[in-house]
Structure 1
């Protein structure tokens, strides 16, 4: 079997899909994208395509090694995302070739179902109590929300109080029915992160996420002294070599590699195994589309230290398209009592509606993340 063609589709809301064809009629799909830099990732995929066309898609590890090691300069979000989407498509083809789910090719399932959580509150968190009630009605047992808006290096305690008031409103609305995660989103600098982490202790959170930017992971050592709440990070880390030092330091409780950013299924399985050796849990990052989620669920199914999965149904980023819109069978991502069943179909287990993809790609605007400024005009973290 040989790879004969690779085609890319930029589609709403902010996704890039990859279709890989073979001379035996088996097609694989991947989702290689950095949100806001889809065109850059597209170029990286096209550069790799020159090597991949004509190759045997079954040699997944060898192709991964080529994409990572063949250049003198390596890594980074765009190149690793290109690698990730290609890797997903290769695994999709291999699963379809053997008529098996990907997790069966990675050692087999180690669980019967996978817990998922729902986003609430939006980019600038609001109406979180109402959305928490809706999450309970929809059967979720866990939610995640952004903590705050812009936050300067040293900022007002009124912003800290506002975060606590929002979390308190959720507890008042739904009691202890929901586990709550609070995403600092890298918006909070070290000094204010210590304050906010300590003030949130009272709510017994499931975890706090990205309390500082990954470039400042050394600060986790100090933040961990201020809170017993599990600390999660890793969505902006792109290989096992970046996670190595984080795990060795011992101040992270949950890692969140993104299977569309961190080298795909091949690399994230290795990252998760590294974390298991350090007694660290995994909660894959996935505010993306149906192919990325399928890749995550394949990994989750055969990875014992995964404890929960992010998914994007109804997330605030999904404007003009949502998780199910490019699927022929929309029932496969059905959540029951906060869980999803293992994917039963071969490969990724999803069937992409190619006609809808092509139609959406014909006139797709370029998504860019907002650019925020602090009260004094300096650029803020988004």
Structure 2
């Protein structure tokens, strides 16, 4: 088996939304298609990849560093022992050759994009959904039939009043979601608490609403918001401070009894280990949100899960960032606690298969080999228009 073609492109997902830290006015993503000479049911096997939202396209790193390593590798160096399929771990090692430890920033995103496409190929060659393949190789053999998902939104829009936030939350409930998330931290505490109360009025229970500060706060403000949020009983309080400020997270955990969440901006198993060592995270309530694309891909995410197990954590406390079909397969196959979803933003990369609607806050996976992108019509149109068939 050989890789015969690799194509990469940059696609805009720009919008006028913002969180407490960044605007998405110029946001874009990289998309990737890796073609092989393998055929299943008469069709050539092609794997697709892209990066999760919140990090920009990785064209430079892909074209100048990582894709050349993939192209130049001996075909046998990429294969599993059977010689009939790719080995994601061996591919990962090829990609990371001559890379020094540390420096996990943007290179982890570029590697994650390739890793997604490789896993798509591997599952397609085996002719099974990725969730099933993961359950058989790295789980208990039986993927979850349905995965709990929450609707991430509540961004700051120019001129968007509280009524607009309520309309958005109402829309999510009508789509079948039972839990939602909104942004905080871009306006003063009193104003954000008005927004929180307005959202609770729609979702009906603060335990069905999470809030996300996107790392905006220093310690004093993080604790002030914690005090303001505590009476409501939120589902979780996410990324109060900088993701690498483990001391802040530890002090927040000591101060705030309710669940916190963080991890989407940790890109290696070493960073996750440090969070668990020094961040005061509590395995009985807190949520870990590492993104299996932004953090070097699923190969590294499996290492993160090994770190969690060593520290006494259940995989059910993981609800990954990303909101796409790849993360959904991982959540089902490895029995995570749920998955993020972006119902109205970052289309068509976010969201799940066309054939699997949200029902009572959960979603099923289509019985499609690979990640299941072929059951996302609008996303396939983007792949085909930018990368060719």
TM-score > 0.5, shorter chain as reference:
yes
State how far apart, in whole Å, the 1-side matches of 2:207 and 2:250 are: 28
After superposition, the C-alpha distances for 1:305-344 in whole angstroms (9 at most, x for unaligned) are x2221122203xx3xx43479x9xx524521111110342
Cross-structure match for 1:261: 294
Give unmatched runs, 5+ long, in structure 1.
Answer: 151-158, 288-292, 363-382
Q: What CA distance in whole angstroms lies between the structure 1 residues aligned with 2:185 and 2:206?
A: 23
Change (3 A) 1:348 1:286: same
Q: CA deviation at 1:79?
A: 0.9
Is 1:170 equivalent to 2:193 in the alignment? Answer: no
In 2 relative to 1, CA 274–220 (structure 1 residues): closer, same or farther, beyond 3 Å?
same
Alpha-carbon shift at residue 242 of structure 1 (Å): 0.8
Return 351-360 or 274-283, whichever deviates more. Answer: 351-360
Q: Distance in 1 between matches of 2:204 and 2:261?
A: 23
Over aligned residue pairs, what C-alpha RMSD do you find?
2.5
Aligned to 2:24: none
| Secondary structure of 2:291's aligned partner | coil
Map of 1:372 onto structure 2: none
Higher relative contact order at CA 8 Å, sep ≥6: structure 1 or structure 2? 1
Cα distance between partner residues in 2 of 1:249 and 1:82: 28
Q: 1:4 to 1:361 in 2, by over 3 A?
A: closer
Cα displacement string for residues 154-194 of structure 1 (whole angstroms, at most 9, x for unaligned residues): xxxxx112222221222233422861100011112111001
In structure 2, do the counterparts of structure 1 residues 267 and 36 end up closer, same or farther at CA, with 3 Å as the change threshold?
closer
1:140 to 165, 174, 177: 177
The question of whether the paired residues in 1 share the 8 Å contact of 2:152 and 2:342 is answered with yes
Q: TM-score, normalised by structure 1?
A: 0.81
Cα distance in 2 for residues equivalent to 1:229 and 1:35: 26
Please report how far the alpha carbon of residue 66 of structure 1 lies from its aligned counterpart in structure 2 after TM superposition: 3.0
Map residues 77-156 of structure 1 onto 2, 5 A cutoff.
Answer: 77-106=105-134, 107=136, 108-123=141-156, 126=162, 127-149=164-186
**How do 1:40-59 residues align onto structure 2 when only pairs under 5 Å count?**
41-46=58-63, 47-53=65-71, 55=75, 56=78, 58-59=86-87
Match of 2:35 in 1: 21
What residue number does 2:365 align with? 342
1:161 aligned counterpart, secondary structure: helix
Asked if 1:286 corresponds to 2:330, the answer is: no
Secondary structure of 1:225 counterpart: helix
CA distance in 1, matches of 2:133, 2:155: 37
Contact 1:33 1:82 in 2 (8 A): no
Partner of 1:77, secondary structure, is: coil
Which consecutive residues of structure 2, in runs of 5 or more, have no partner in the other structure? 14-27, 39-43, 80-85
Q: Is the 8 A contact 1:11 1:357 kept in 2?
A: no
